[in-house]
Amino acid sequence: MAAADLLQFVLSGLSVGGIYALVAVGFVTIHAVTGVINFAQGELAMSGALAAAVLAAAGLPLPFAVAAAVVVGAAVGLVVDRATVWPALRRRRMGAVADVVLILLTIGASIALRGLALAIFGSEPYALGPFTPGAPIVLAGAVVPRQTLWVLGLSAATMAALALFFGRTQVGAALRACAMNRDAAKLAGISPARMSALAFGLAGAVAGLAGAAIAPISFATYDMGLMLGLKGFVSAVVGGLASPPGAVVGALALGVLESLAAGLVSSGYKDAIAFLVLIAVLLVRPEGFFPGGRLRRV
Amino acid sequence: MTTAVARAALPSIILACAVAPLPFVLGGYALSLLIVIGLHAIAVLGLSILMGQVGQVSLAQGAFYGLGAYGSAILALHGGLTPLVSMPAAVALAAVVALALGLPAVRLGGHHLALATLGFGIIVFLVFNEEGDWTGGPSGTLGIPPVAILDATLATDRAYAYLVWAVLLTALAAARALLASPVGRAFRAVAASEVAAAAMGIDVARTKLVAFVLAGALGAAAGALYAHWLTFVSPTAFGFETSIEFLVMAVLGGLGSLYGALLGAAAVTLLVEGLRSVVHAVAPGATGWVEIVAFGLILIVVLLAVPEGLAGGVARLVKAVRRG
Amino acid sequence: MTMRTRREWLGSAAAAAALAALPRRARAQGGPYRIGAVLELSGPASIWGRPQRESIQMVVDDVNAKGGIGGRKVELIVYDNESKETNSLVLAKRLVEQDGVLGIIGAGTTPTTMPMIPYVTQAKVPLVSMGSADVIITPPAERRWIFKTPNNTSDVVTKMLEYLKAKRLTPVAFLSVNNAYGDSGRREFEKAAGKAGIEVTVWERFGATDKDMKPQLTRARASGAKAIVVWAIPPAAPLVAKSAAELGLPREVQMVHDHGAGSSPAFIDLAGGAAEGTVLVTAKLPVAEQLPDADPQKPVLLAYAKAYRERTGQPPSAIGGMAYDAMLLYANALETAGADREKLRDALEATRGLVGVTGVFSMSPEDHNGLTVEHLELARVEGGKQVRLTL
């Protein structure tokens, strides 16, 4: 096994992990503010991917298509929030709505979004051009496509932007307060409804961008959200579900594990190996990689 | 003791009386739906108890469905066992697997448990997919023998419907008895508060483990029955999507409610077929996406209207009718 | 009676009423010929299902425009099995019992076809499938009622091995998608490669939704293979091509794809420049214009391509062509059989020299596919198009 090959496995893993990271970051954002696991997160990315692909194919210059993806993602995120999540969240304080019901509501939303995408876009894959065309970058005998650098760069950028937003801005602090204690937030004049919408809109925007960045690598299809959502969820939970950096690290770890497993052990079992490692980690360190200040229900 | 058993069994007996004439009345297509509802209800029953009564989340029920199906198929085809023996054997094996999964899993909570069960489900799916010598690989296994009692094969749907519903109703009665027993009380104590339950002297880990094994066994029982009905199994029927389907049925029916499991399974199956009929009659060219969108929207609307599930909703309705 | 048990009564009564109330269509005498179709219109296989539906409808519309068969029109009833096996079986029963169809077309994949086989055999209803695996129609004695239109996987492998042998490309690496489609290709290749003198160094797998196949391709390259055989359909197939191009592989080894890539324009469209130089096994449809005029299939192919493009605005695919042929087989058989399922089965089996899109069908009791390796072509991707390759 040449060293260049090993490096290739790691780089391919980072490439895939970067894709997962962009989705995972949105998961964490929504969960941090509302406590909801948004199983429609993958579909938010799918909306952005398909929107960008179709608009670009229709002649819109790529930067505008990507911007449109962000807008579409945010809009769809808002719809999911207002139509399914918020009505249930509002009643959760009264103990009427279990957490699992909230998850099921997002599952319902993901099903409906998939069906709509099938109706509008059909079942065939759509291609999108890379953000910067050109040959892949060669690093010590291993290859990294340029779009991968974009994906990784955008992961880092959104992670930093979200950290700044939550840590340094008033609105961000308000969002975090909302997560800690909804009643206190309301007393301070922060409307949980607006916060929930904001969280979903933000996560949707990030997802839309994610979709547009992913499409040049692996195409846009109406059902791409299933796998993306799954891997994003896994990454976010492994990362502690509390912070974007945790989600990114979890995602990169997942991607690299899959790739190493495929290259070194067995391509058929690569997902299984990756999961086994992650679950083993969770058993040893149940808080995940980056534990946040989560209240344990007693 | 006997009054407790009778009380547990009464609803099942009544249901049995209601359902008994159906296999003679219904045609082959509707009869297939009856069988499918029965199979799903058995699997969802296990999940509903685990999630509703004990408060543990599981995204692995589809995998246990598969373990029962493949287990019985392999024992019958490679081991030469008759299905009446291979099916319970497969359930026993699946219970052992559930125990093995449960031992580490009960230490995890909430999202981590969801993740662990999700991972387990994916690993099991990949084993089905990869170990072609045993499982037939992605192309699946064909020619699974139908169930035979002595010399008579239960090859007709009518006979199979009775078999599946007999298993379901027995399981319901047994579950009802279990939940009314100290074990059931231990379940609910653990779901309410693990710390308080431990303080009362309940072995929390063991209680959760019992529920895990129960859910796994019921999922496997449903799967084994499925395999000998369809006579063909392939890995794609037992993946993450199936686990989600069972989850939807469980929550829609009402977590923790035994008859909610049946209601949820029936509601989802009939809804899907009903949507097919409606779309087919109204807009035949639109097949494929309308049903999907409609299903998603209906799921959302129902859950928002009746978050405690259909069983809870019916209870509310009956109460309101009685009052008014 | 307690509140709970009353609830159960209501519930089961409601369920019984719902089940019994499902619509039933009586089979009218002298009415239209009803043909049912079970297709993957959603779910992972839906990229195939939709072109298939359009193509079947094309034949029905053509036949009805000409006044039907013996004055009776053809009515098509289509259901979506959502790419799920249980649904296939339930829908087959629905078609036979509620809708009273004479025959069924479906399904589009092997796992979704298999569950219907015992049922249609027992109910004595003909079934024409677009699934690729040979097990659908073998053993012939147990598949009297089952037919299939895609080229047998063994024929595709034969064609591929012809090419590899002619170019002395051994050893090879074999990459397949780890679902039933890829698996059937892998099994057939494994059976036949040794006899053809082709050695396989590595057998790698990838998921249909994987985003990067470079690890598997890296292993393939490291194994010293002279050619890499890929068995997959879009979107995985073009992704493999892209990964290979990123690694610079096409310069070093010959990339060879099966008909899953050749049959759909999506492969070249999505892979873009990455597909250049790839050799494909393909049906005749993508290279129809390059066929010699004497080829009996040429006019049928060109007509199908034109009609499909006009009807859907999409380029035609051989996968749709397989469904087109299924309906064509039925239309042809209905002329002699009329509204009798047993006669329809016999007529299907007696099909001789029917020129379709996938090939020229000549069935027999031992062969319910009716095609040979002659109905497959080799092509190389040049300038973004499939260029016919003769050895």
**Rounded to whole angstroms, how far apart are CA atoms B127 and B40?**
23
The owner of tokens 């929550």 is: B251
Task: Write out chain B residues lying below 8 Å of A271, CB-based.
Answer: 122, 126
- pLDDT on residue C26: 46
Are the CB atoms for C207 and C173 separated by under 8 Å? no
Cβ burial, residue A59 (10 Å; 0-12/13-18/19+) = exposed
User: Hey, is the C-beta of B133 within 8 angstroms of any chain A C-beta?
Assistant: no
Task: Write out chain B residues lying below 8 Å of C18, CB-based.
Answer: 270, 274
Q: Which residues pair with C254 in a beta bridge?
A: C227
- pLDDT on residue A180: 63
Are the CB atoms for C348 and C325 separated by under 8 Å? no
Is it the case that residue A1 has pLDDT exceeding 90? no
Are the CB atoms for B158 and B31 separated by under 8 Å? yes
The total of other beta-carbon atoms located within 10 Å of residue A134's CB is 9
Pairing of strands C376-382, C360-361: unpaired
Q: Do A107 and B244 touch (CB under 8 A)?
A: yes
At A296, is the pLDDT very low, low, confident or very high (cuts 50, 70, 90)?
Answer: very low
**Rounded to whole angstroms, how far apart are CA atoms A244 and C242?**
31
Six-digit token string for A195: 């916060």
- pLDDT on residue A163: 84
Q: Do B287 and C4 touch (CB under 8 A)?
A: no
pLDDT in tens, A13-31: 999 999 999 999 999 989 8
Listed in sequence order, the residues at least 6 apart from C195 whose beta carbon sits closer than 8 Å to its beta carbon are: none
pLDDT in tens, A133-151: 888 999 888 889 999 999 9
The total of other beta-carbon atoms located within 10 Å of residue A60's CB is 15
Task: Write out chain B residues lying below 8 Å of C94, CB-based.
Answer: 29
The owner of tokens 């710390």 is: B195
Q: Do A218 and C207 touch (CB under 8 A)?
A: no
Are the CB atoms for A41 and A103 separated by under 8 Å? no
**Rounded to whole angstroms, how far apart are CA atoms B41 and C331?**
42
Query: Nearest by CB to B26, which of C6, C7, C19?
Result: C19
- pLDDT on residue A288: 56
DSSP state of B79: S
Are the CB atoms for C36 and C109 separated by under 8 Å? no
Is it the case that residue A88 has pLDDT exceeding 90? no
Pairing of strands C227-231, C146-148: unpaired
Minimum distance, in Å, between the CA of residue B311 and any CA atom of chain C:
9
Q: Which residues pair with B221 in a beta bridge?
A: none
Q: What mean pLDDT is predicted for residues A28-35?
A: 86
Q: Do C46 and B33 touch (CB under 8 A)?
A: no
Residue of A nearest to C43 (CA): A223
**Rounded to whole angstroms, how far apart are CA atoms B265 and B41?**
5
Q: Do C180 and B28 touch (CB under 8 A)?
A: no
What is the b/e burial string over C59-87, where b = at least 16 CB atoms within 10 angstroms of the residue's CB? Answer: bbeebbeeebbeebebbbbbbbbbbbbbb
3-class state of residue B55 by DSSP: coil
Q: What mean pLDDT is predicted for residues C249-278?
A: 90
Amino acid at B68: G
**Rounded to whole angstroms, how far apart are CA atoms A137 and B213?**
51
Pairing of strands C103-106, C146-148: unpaired
**Rounded to whole angstroms, how far apart are CA atoms A261 and B123?**
14
Which of A281-290, B158-167, B232-241 is predicted least confidently? A281-290
Phi, then psi, of C13 in degrees rounded to 5:
-65, -40
Listed in sequence order, the residues at least 6 apart from C65 whose beta carbon sits closer than 8 Å to its beta carbon are: none
Secondary structure element (H or E) that encloses residue B188, with its range? helix B182-192
Torsion of CA B102, A231, C46, B70, to 10 degrees: -20
Nearest to B39 by CA among B223, B273, B311, B254: B223
Amino acid at C333: A
Q: Do C20 and B25 touch (CB under 8 A)?
A: yes
The total of other beta-carbon atoms located within 10 Å of residue C308's CB is 23
Q: Do A136 and C246 touch (CB under 8 A)?
A: yes
Task: Write out chain A residues lying below 8 Å of C314, CB-based.
Answer: 124
Minimum distance, in Å, between the CA of residue C145 and any CA atom of chain A:
31
At A179, is the pLDDT very low, low, confident or very high (cuts 50, 70, 90)?
Answer: low
Listed in sequence order, the residues at least 6 apart from C12 whose beta carbon sits closer than 8 Å to its beta carbon are: B15, B18, B19
Mutant choice from A79, A92, A101 vs B, greatest count of B C-beta within 10 A: A101
Six-digit token string for A96: 């009427």
Q: Name the percent of chain C lying above pLDDT 70.
A: 92
Is it the case that residue C11 has pLDDT exceeding 80? no
Q: Do A107 and B122 touch (CB under 8 A)?
A: no
Is it the case that residue A292 has pLDDT exceeding 60? no
Q: Do B123 and A116 touch (CB under 8 A)?
A: no
**Rounded to whole angstroms, how far apart are CA atoms A291 and C319?**
50
- pLDDT on residue A184: 64
Query: Nearest by CB to B318, which of C3, C83, C86?
Result: C3
Task: Write out chain B residues lying below 8 Å of A112, CB-based.
Answer: 292-293, 295-297, 300
At C19, is the pLDDT very low, low, confident or very high (cuts 50, 70, 90)?
Answer: low
- pLDDT on residue C136: 93
Q: What mean pLDDT is predicted for residues A21-46?
A: 91
Nearest to C331 by CA among C27, C66, C63: C63
Minimum distance, in Å, between the CA of residue A32 and any CA atom of chain C:
28
Minimum distance, in Å, between the CA of residue C244 and any CA atom of chain B:
24
Q: Hey, which residues 33-92 in chain B have their CB within 8 Å of chain A?
A: 51, 57
Minimum distance, in Å, between the CA of residue C18 and any CA atom of chain B:
8
- pLDDT on residue B106: 82
Q: What mean pLDDT is predicted for residues C107-119?
A: 93
Residue of C nearest to B33 (CA): C90
Is it the case that residue A297 has pLDDT exceeding 80? no
Q: Name the percent of chain C lying above pLDDT 90.
A: 71
pLDDT in tens, C174-190: 999 998 899 999 999 99
Six-digit token string for A159: 């992670």
Q: What mean pLDDT is predicted for residues C328-334?
A: 95
Q: Do C212 and A2 touch (CB under 8 A)?
A: no
Which of A92-101, B99-108, C234-243 is predicted least confidently? A92-101
Residue of A nearest to C208 (CA): A227
Averaged confidence pLDDT in chain B: 88
Cα torsion A275, A199, A85, A212: sign: negative
Cα torsion A45, A50, A51, A55: sign: positive
- pLDDT on residue A294: 44
At C239, is the pLDDT very low, low, confident or very high (cuts 50, 70, 90)?
Answer: very high
Q: Do A262 and C207 touch (CB under 8 A)?
A: no
Which of B25-29, B269-273, C1-5, C63-67 is predicted least confidently? C1-5
Query: Nearest by CB to A19, which of C211, C234, C238?
Result: C211
Task: Calculate ∠ Cα A207-A275-B70, nearest 5°.
Answer: 115
Query: Nearest by CB to A145, which of C219, C222, C246?
Result: C246
User: Hey, is the C-beta of B82 within 8 angstroms of any chain C C-beta?
Assistant: no
Q: Do A115 and B299 touch (CB under 8 A)?
A: no
Query: Nearest by CB to C212, which of A15, A118, A260?
Result: A15
Nearest to B31 by CA among C284, C267, C19: C19
Q: Hey, which residues 349-388 in chain C have their CB within 8 Å of chain B?
A: none
Is it the case that residue B283 has pLDDT exceeding 80? no
3-class state of residue A275 by DSSP: helix
Are the CB atoms for B63 and B125 separated by under 8 Å? yes
Is it the case that residue C3 has pLDDT exceeding 50? no
What value does the CA radius of gyration of chain C take, rounded to a whole number of Å?
A: 22
Q: Hey, which residues 233-292 in chain B have their CB within 8 Å of chain A?
A: 240-241, 244, 247-248, 251-252, 255, 286, 288-292
Q: What mean pLDDT is predicted for residues B148-172?
A: 84
Which of the two residues, C315 and C322, has the higher pLDDT score? C322
**Rounded to whole angstroms, how far apart are CA atoms B301 and C265?**
41
pLDDT in tens, A229-286: 999 999 998 888 877 888 899 999 999 999 999 988 888 888 888 888 888 877 777 6
Residue of B nearest to A110 (CA): B296
Are the CB atoms for B238 and B62 separated by under 8 Å? yes
Which of A223-232, B90-99, B195-204, C68-77 is predicted least confidently? B195-204
- pLDDT on residue B11: 81
Q: What mean pLDDT is predicted for residues C47-68?
A: 92
Q: What mean pLDDT is predicted for residues C335-347?
A: 93
Pairing of strands B141-142, B232-233: antiparallel
The owner of tokens 């989560």 is: A294
Torsion of CA B257, B262, B268, B273, to 10 degrees: -160
Residue of C nearest to A5 (CA): C218
User: Hey, is the C-beta of B138 within 8 angstroms of any chain C C-beta?
Assistant: yes
Which of the two residues, C251 and A53, has the higher pLDDT score? A53
Q: Chains meeting A at 3+ CB pairs closer than 8 A? A: B, C
Which of A104-108, A109-113, B8-12, B213-217 is predicted least confidently? B8-12
Q: What mean pLDDT is predicted for residues B105-129?
A: 88
What value does the CA radius of gyration of chain B take, rounded to a whole number of Å?
A: 20
Contacts across the A-B interface (CB distance below 8 Å): 127
- pLDDT on residue B27: 79
Are the CB atoms for C39 and C129 separated by under 8 Å? no
pLDDT in tens, A149-176: 999 999 999 988 988 888 888 877 777 7
Longest Cα–Cα distance of chain A, Å, equals 62
Is it the case that residue A97 has pLDDT exceeding 80? no
pLDDT in tens, B102-113: 888 888 877 888
Listed in sequence order, the residues at least 6 apart from B274 whose beta carbon sits closer than 8 Å to its beta carbon are: C18
- pLDDT on residue B150: 67
**Rounded to whole angstroms, how far apart are CA atoms A255 and A273?**
12
Q: Do B292 and C42 touch (CB under 8 A)?
A: yes
Residue of C nearest to A214 (CA): C211
Q: Do C184 and B132 touch (CB under 8 A)?
A: no
User: Hey, is the C-beta of B199 within 8 angstroms of any chain A C-beta?
Assistant: no
3-class state of residue B202 by DSSP: coil
Task: Write out chain B residues lying below 8 Å of A97, CB-based.
Answer: 307
Task: Write out chain B residues lying below 8 Å of A50, CB-based.
Answer: none
Q: Which residues of C touch A (CB under 8 A)?
A: 41-44, 46-47, 49-50, 178, 204-207, 209, 211-212, 214-216, 218-219, 222, 234-235, 238-239, 246-248, 266, 269-270, 272, 314
**Rounded to whole angstroms, how far apart are CA atoms A69 and B104?**
42
Cα B105 to chain centroid distance, Å, stands at 20
- pLDDT on residue C295: 92
Task: Write out chain A residues lying below 8 Å of B132, CB-based.
Answer: none
User: Hey, is the C-beta of B24 within 8 angstroms of any chain A C-beta?
Assistant: no
Longest Cα–Cα distance of chain C, Å, equals 81
Minimum distance, in Å, between the CA of residue A268 and any CA atom of chain C:
5
Q: Do C214 and A227 touch (CB under 8 A)?
A: no
3-class state of residue A10 by DSSP: helix
**Rounded to whole angstroms, how far apart are CA atoms A256 and A269?**
14
Is it the case that residue C38 has pLDDT exceeding 90? yes
Which of A185-194, C114-123, C223-232, C349-358 is predicted least confidently? A185-194
The total of other beta-carbon atoms located within 10 Å of residue C26's CB is 7
